[in-house]
Structure 1
Amino acid sequence: MCHAFRVMAYQIYRIIHKPPKELVKTEDLSSNFVSLQDIQTAYAKFKQLFLIDNSTEFWDTDIKWFSLLESSSWLDIIRRCLKKAIEIIECLEAQNMSVLLLEENASDLCCLISSLVQVMMDPHCRTRVGFQSLVQKEWIMGGHCFLDRCNHLRQSDKEEVPVFLLFLDCVWQLVHQHPPAFEFTETYLTVLSDSLYIPIFSTFFFNSPHQKDTNMGRESQETQSKPLNLLTVWDWSVQFEPKAQMLLRNPLYVEKPKLDKGQRKGVRSTVRCLHA
């Protein structure tokens, strides 16, 4: 009992006397990183590789597919995103610094980089429950404009930028490189990306929680229209039978010790997103 008390006292001492992150590094993602226009242009070229109308076009594309893929710059953007996340992690861990992410609206690239940092640093974010929580926290509650970025209403192609798809593709690369580190599979990420454009789900349909509450929580006072009744994407039983849901779980997953709540909060608190 006395030994256990001494161990606990030592742990408390380490927490209290841990050197604070006094240095703060600022990362202006609006000027020192890929732009939304870059992402939009690269994805348009990347998507074109899969829009083939006939066999002649297929074989013409197949011969130079890898060069066309490289020229789209989509993979280069993924590389730059992962590199930026690694740079921030090095600041947090090796240099004991806090990192302040700046962006014009703080709801696109900030969501992307902050999420990647947490996926890499926190084993909990690599579980299905943790990843769902991360998406809800950083993207849904963070105010990512899914309605505009996915162009669900087909109102403005200018605002359509697949930032969330870029995030999922970055995570796909990590899953592909480190399979045992993730509880979910590539199939899980693919299904999640497909769900972006299924109109029966409310999860990725609105620009903000306020817009969602306004349209789903009560009747509109101006139009007297009935509130929308949409499902959540996280209820996989809506889309899949129990046997099919097994494909979403990685059988090679090796669980690592979870960070406690204080440590997980520390990871997030040292990466803050603000309007530029």
Structure 2
Amino acid sequence: MMRVLCLGTGYVAQHLARALPGAEIFGTTRDAAKHAELRALGITPLSPEDLDFEGFTHILVSAGPGAGGDPFLTRYAQALPTANPVWVGYLSATSVYGDHQGAWVDEETPPAPTGPRGAQRLAAEQAWAATGLPLHIFRLAGIYGPGRSPLDRLRAGDARRIVKPGQYFSRIHVEDIVQVILASMRAPAPGLVINVADDDPAPPQDVITFAAGLLGVAPPPEEDFETAQMSAMARSFYDDNKRVTNARMKARLDLGLRHTDYREGLRALLAEGH
């Protein structure tokens, strides 16, 4: 039986649990209020302050790093040698590549993060690789899915169409992240780095316009990036402009995307009542 430990039990880990009905799944959380929710998904909640790594066949690392490094490596560097999993997956981000002025990047593109988030992700990748565990690195594009999509932002009234000419963002539906992780678990290949993105990087304002059309509402007005009122955090996401290829993901894991682009993904979400 698979015995899975999720270090961080957020959006992706919870969707993964739904796809592993026969496995024993444990997940860390500091929020006691989430315990009932996790148990309903078949996840046994654990405190991140008191972990034993022995006996787990698979470990998914989804907790984000901070300025002090990866929170679990910082605390458990001495305990990890007791672990003997067949598979470890680290959910990283395409921010490690930095800015390429709209050009395509693949897994052979040298990482060159432009901001602290990307630098922290890259440092965490390297730190997990140094553990000697059978590591698989998944560099995720922008995640969307049920409860977390442009459809939800439009309904909430907080969607914006910020226009920066020539800007591209890559994205990926959470269901496709899950199928990538499952395929990797079935055929471990330690050391593999994979970009997880769909087929169609697109300007963010185009995605909002399409989502508004699906809902039958007027899209929010376009706002020029240079003059738009935005937080420093929101503005920083536009520092990196690149298109992320998924060719290795498809070839090495022998899979096709369920949602090849944002149009298919958003149509499916709406059809499913999300």
Higher relative contact order (CA 8 A, sep 6+): 1
- The TM tier, using the shorter chain, reads under 0.3
TM-score when scaled to structure 1? 0.28
Which structure: greater helix fraction?
1
Query: Which structure's CA Rg is the greater one?
Result: 1
TM-score normalized with structure 2 length: 0.28
